[in-house]
């Protein structure tokens, strides 16, 4: 199940720990970010071991609009990650909400 910008904002407001992965490129991350770990989509297969500790925990992936993060979600799920959620609309929607 994916996550809405409203739900993510509520969780941030409550101070909840969210395992957030930004799959955009570095220059996009430098322009604006939500504080997550930057792992560009193209490097995700090579860096998946960094996420092993979160394999059974909730992970929220996001990008600019939700397309790349949908691919990241599919990839992580195919590698056995059990609770990956895509931020619907990406950072664009988050910044407009």
Task: Please report which confidence band the pLDDT of residue 97 belongs to, taking 50, 70 and 90 as the band edges.
Answer: confident
89: which strand partners?
none
CATH entry, 5-96, from 3.30.1370.60, 3.40.250.10, 3.40.50.150, 3.30.300.30: 3.40.250.10
pLDDT at 11 over 90: yes
Q: Catalytic annotation on 74? A: no
pTM of the model: 0.96
CB 58 within 8 A of CB 36: no
Q: 68, exposed or middle or buried, with CB in 10 Å at 0-12, 13-18, 19+?
A: buried
State percent of the chain over pLDDT 70.
100
Catalytic residue among 34, 41, 63, 93: 63
DSSP 3: B
Q: 33, exposed or middle or buried, with CB in 10 Å at 0-12, 13-18, 19+?
A: middle
CB 62 within 8 A of CB 91: yes
What is the rounded CA–CA span in Å between residue 23 and residue 61?
Answer: 7
Task: Please report which confidence band the pLDDT of residue 78 belongs to, taking 50, 70 and 90 as the band edges.
Answer: very high
Kindly state the average pLDDT of the residues 68-81: 98
């Amino acid at each position: 199940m994916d996550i809405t910008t409203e739900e993510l904002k509520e969780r941030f407001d409550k101070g909840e720990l969210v395992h957030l992965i930004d799959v955009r490129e570095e220059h996009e991350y430098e322009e604006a970010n939500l504080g997550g770990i930057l792992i560009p989509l193209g490097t995700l297969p090579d860096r998946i071991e960094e996420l092993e500790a979160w394999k059974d925990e909730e992970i929220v992936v996001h990008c600019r609009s939700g397309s790349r993060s949908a691919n990241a979600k599919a990839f992580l799920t195919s590698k056995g990650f059990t609770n990956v959620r895509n931020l619907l609309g990406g950072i664009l929607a988050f910044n407009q909400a």
